[in-house]
């Protein structure tokens, strides 16, 4: 593999995944990954542009940022691209009235949205909200529509909490897709539109940007398909087999965000 | 389309789907479809062999037969091919110890099965049992296995109860398949092995047998792929659009089981 200097040359902007890179989630709010608080601080002192790009659809952007700030991270709402606000915008633009199958923690993002007489279903990481009854309700709304529209906030397969692996929204999206014979529209990584939104908000072109994430498919593969570079951290949901993934090869593998930031500060724009 | 005489010539055995053909299910036990009790009785008085072939994985075979008998049907346990006993056999043959994600109503079919230290997951129509917690448990068992084995009792998308459409096991099978990156083994229609089991139990060759069902894909398409003929009834989960299905064309469409039996008694073996 080429030297780091070559691989990181010309990088001007950094997109950071949050869960599994900054911190490990958990019912208690989770804990920062060692070195990540300082790594974010160093990155923000550098000439590199920084933006956070998450698929978290269980918490409102405000709650997520509050949680990270309490852990010591230098982060503000305006620096975060997250799927619920992005979806809210899409719903308004297209005049869609959603039936919401979402976690209570993210409901405030949809306060301004008309949910009467629904003409689409929005599904997010609902956690315990993925009961048989709630899934059936969403299914019936879709089956009653002449042209069913299902919007999914991400399509992650699972994530890791301190208590163990948790099924993510993608699994339930697949269940509804199969039952209705439809394909969902995904708002979140690895959707190219979503990466492009984050790049636009950061003000950096794809070829000058690098993604740092723990998800070989959603973060690394998705970013690369948009023309970005991408580093995988060996934290969060990383598994050793990711380094031999049959389809996706990261531009580099690093132990954690701290190592990624060290390399960037050394080898990106001088 | 050819005349009925031609289409039904040489039929010696009839496979009958149960839910949506004999009766419409519901929390109250459901109700017989008008004419079906008499139709089964007439069929069993004829020279035709008859066997019932269901994907019901929520009730034990004994409970299902009891429910149908109380509705007036002439049916006994030995005449029914159902996925739970078929799965139980497979588990014994292969020395598999399942983690069971199933409805309590069908648990008795697995009484003789060792479920300690599971090396596979068996998923059936668990209804309310499809909680986030139970799905997560099954998911974690699969992820802990070096070579995950998922056995699904059918892969139906949904079924109709008196209270409305209900998500079926297939939707949850897809969720686990996607989350784990695996493919399930299906015991039930439209799996060819399952139809062949029913044919063997009836003692009739595929080309001499006809399936009568309400599911255009699971019953009609599945039976035809095994070399059988198949009639779709316009009861149960039938939808008018089924008659223009892009991939499956039944050998005939009839209003209900009573009409199917009239035609069979008139045109099958003389």
Q: What is the ipTM for the molecules in this complex?
A: 0.88
Structure tokens at A160: 């890791």
The span from the CA of A169 to the CA of A187, in Å, is 12
- A166 and B133 within 8 Å at the Cβ level: the answer is no
Instruction: Answer yes or no: do A131 and B136 touch at CB < 8 A.
Output: no
Q: Which of B125, B131, B97, B129 is nearest to B112 (CA)?
A: B97
Mean pLDDT value across residues B150-160: 93
- Assess A50–B contact: CB distance below 8 Å, yes or no: no
Note every long-range contact of A96-99, with CB atoms under 8 Å and residues 24 or more positions apart, other chains counting: A96/A120, A96/A149, A96/A151, A98/A122, A98/A151, A99/A137, A99/A138, A99/A141
Q: Tell whether B168 is within 8 A of chain A (Cβ).
A: yes
- Rounded to the nearest integer, the mean pLDDT of chain B is 95
Which of B131, B143, B176 faces A131 most closely, judged by CB atoms? B131
- pLDDT recorded at residue A1: 76
Residue of A nearest to B133 (CA): A128
| Nearest-CA distance B217 → chain A (Å) | 12
Lowest mean pLDDT segment, chosen from A111-125, A200-214, B56-70, B149-163: B149-163
> What's residue A270's pLDDT?
62
- Are the beta carbons of A194 and A80 closer than 8 angstroms? no
Cα-based torsion angle of the residue sequence A148, A153, A158, A163 in order, rounded to the nearest 10 degrees: -120
Instruction: Tell me, yes or no, if A128 comes closer than 8 A to chain B by beta carbon.
Output: yes
Do residue A128 and residue B130 have CB atoms under 8 angstroms apart? no
The answer to whether the beta carbons of residues B265 and B46 sit under 8 Å apart is: yes
Give contacts of B104 with chain A, Cβ < 8 Å: none
> Cis omega (within 30 of 0) on the bond before B190?
yes
pLDDT at A163: 82
Domains A13-53+189-268 and A84-187 share a fold: yes
Any idea which residue has 């109250």 for tokens?
A: B28
CA contacts within 13 A on the Cβ side of B18? 28
CA distance B201 to chain A (A): 31
Show the DSSP H helices in B46-126 as ranges.
Answer: 61-70, 83-94
CB-closest option in B164, B167, B181 to A179:
B167
Tell me the average pLDDT across A184-189. Answer: 97
Record: contact B132-A131, CB cut-off 8 A: yes
Cβ atoms of residues A101 and A126 within 8 Å: yes
Residue B152 contacts residue B187 (beta carbons within 8 Å): yes
Return residues 133-152 of B near A (CB < 8 Å).
133, 135-136, 139-140, 143
The predicted-structure confidence for B32-69, as pLDDT tens digits, reads as follows 999 999 999 999 999 999 999 999 999 999 999 999 99
Is the CB of A132 less than 8 angstroms away from the CB of B131? yes
DSSP bridge partners of A161: A164
Residue A165: list chain B partners with CB under 8 A: 136, 139-140, 143
pLDDT at residue A28, rounded to an integer? 79
Determine, for residues A129 and B132 on separate chains, whether the beta-carbon distance falls below 8 Å. yes
Please, what is the Cα angle at A255 between A246 and A6, to 5 degrees?
75
CB B23 within 8 A of CB B37: no
Query: What value does the mean pLDDT take over residues A198-216?
Result: 97
Inter-chain touch A158–B176, beta carbons under 8 Å: no
User: pLDDT at residue B159 above 90?
Assistant: no
Residues B149-154, mean pLDDT to the nearest whole number: 97
Taking CB atoms and an 8 Å limit, are A135 and B131 in contact across chains? no
Q: A179, A217, A240, A241: which to substitute to probe chain B, counting the most B Cβ within 10 Å?
A: A179
Q: Answer whether A246 touches B (CB < 8 Å).
A: no
A168/B157 CB distance under 8 A:
no
Per-residue model confidence as pLDDT tens digits over A109-157: 999 999 999 999 999 999 999 999 999 999 999 999 999 999 999 999 9
Distance CA A135, CA A141 (A): 10
Query: A200: how many CB neighbours lie within 10 A of its CB?
Result: 11
Q: Which residue of B has its CA nearest to A156?
A: B179
If DSSP codes are grouped into helix, strand and coil, which group holds residue A205?
A: coil
Closest of A145, A144, A131, A143 to residue A103, by C-alpha:
A131
B178 and chain A: CB distance < 8 Å anywhere?
yes
Q: How big is the A-B interface in CB pairs under 8 Å?
A: 89
pLDDT at position A261 is 98
Question: Hey, is the C-beta of A30 within 8 angstroms of any chain B C-beta?
Answer: no
Report the percentage of chain A scoring pLDDT > 90: 93
- Give A143's Cβ-side CA count (13 Å radius): 20
Listed in order, strand segments (DSSP E) in chain A are 13-16, 23-24, 31-32, 49-53, 80-81, 98-101, 120-123, 150-152, 158-161, 164-167, 185-186, 209-213, 229-233, 252-254
Would you state the pLDDT for residue B84? 97
pLDDT above 70: residue B153: yes
| Cβ-nearest to B136 among A143, A167, A179 | A167
Residue B134 to chain A, least CA–CA distance (Å): 10
β-pair type (B31-32, B23-24): antiparallel
pLDDT on residue B163: 82
Which of B136, B138, B142, B218 would you mutate first to test chain A, the one with the most A CBs within 10 A? B136
Is it the case that residue B261 has pLDDT exceeding 80? Answer: yes
d(CA A230, CA A221): 8
Tokens representing A32?
């920062």
| Residue of B112 and A26 predicted with greater confidence | B112
d(CA A120, CA A148): 6
Q: CA nearest B160 in A: which residue?
A: A140
Within 56-115 of A, beta carbons closer than 8 Å to B belong to: none
Task: Tell me whether residues B128 and A129 touch, CB distance under 8 A.
Answer: no
B170 and A158 in contact by Cβ < 8 A? no
**pLDDT of res. B270:** 61
Are the beta carbons of B199 and B166 closer than 8 angstroms?
no
Tokens standing for residue A173? 């999206």
> The domain A84-187: what is its CATH number?
3.40.50.1000
- Angle B83-94/B192-202 helices, nearest 10 degrees? 100
How do the domains of chain A map onto residue ranges? 13-53+189-268, 84-187
Burial level of A117, CB count in 10 A (0-12/13-18/19+)?
A: exposed
Could you tell me which chain A residue has the CA closest to the CA of B127?
A132
- What's the pLDDT score for residue A25? 83
Does CATH place domain A13-53+189-268 in 3.40.50.1000?
yes
Rounded alpha-carbon distances, angstroms, from residue B261 to B9, B17, B89, B199, B265? 14, 13, 32, 19, 6
Q: Could you tell me if A106 and A59 are in contact, meaning their C-beta atoms sit under 8 angstroms apart? A: yes
């Amino acid at each position: 593999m080429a030297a780091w200097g070559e691989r990181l040359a010309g990088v001007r902007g950094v997109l950071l995944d949050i869960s599994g890179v900054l911190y490990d989630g958990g019912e208690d709010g989770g804990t920062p990954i060692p070195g990540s608080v300082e790594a974010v601080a160093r990155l923000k002192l550098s000439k590199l542009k920084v933006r956070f790009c998450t698929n978290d659809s269980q918490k409102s952007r405000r709650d997520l940022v509050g949680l990270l700030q309490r852990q010591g991270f230098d982060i503000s709402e305006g620096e975060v691209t997250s799927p619920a606000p992005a979806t809210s915008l899409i719903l308004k633009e297209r005049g869609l009235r959603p039936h919401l199958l979402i976690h209570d923690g993210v409901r405030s993002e949809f306060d301004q949205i008309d949910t009467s007489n629904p003409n689409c279903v929005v599904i997010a990481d609902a956690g315990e909200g993925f009961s048989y009854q709630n899934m059936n309700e969403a299914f019936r709304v879709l089956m009653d529509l002449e042209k069913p529209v299902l919007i999914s906030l991400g399509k992650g397969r699972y994530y890791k909490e301190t208590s163990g692996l948790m099924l993510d929204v993608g699994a339930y999206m697949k269940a509804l897709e199969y039952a209705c014979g439809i394909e969902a529209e995904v708002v979140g990584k690895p959707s190219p539109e979503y990466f492009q939104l984050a790049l636009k908000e950061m003000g950096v072109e794809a070829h000058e940007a690098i993604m740092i994430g723990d998800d070989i498919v959603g973060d690394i593969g998705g970013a690369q398909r948009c023309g970005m570079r991408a580093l995988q951290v060996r934290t969060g949901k990383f598994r050793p087999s990711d380094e031999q993934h049959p389809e996706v090869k990261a531009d580099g593998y690093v132990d954690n965000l701290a190592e990624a930031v060290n390399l960037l500060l050394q080898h990106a724009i001088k």
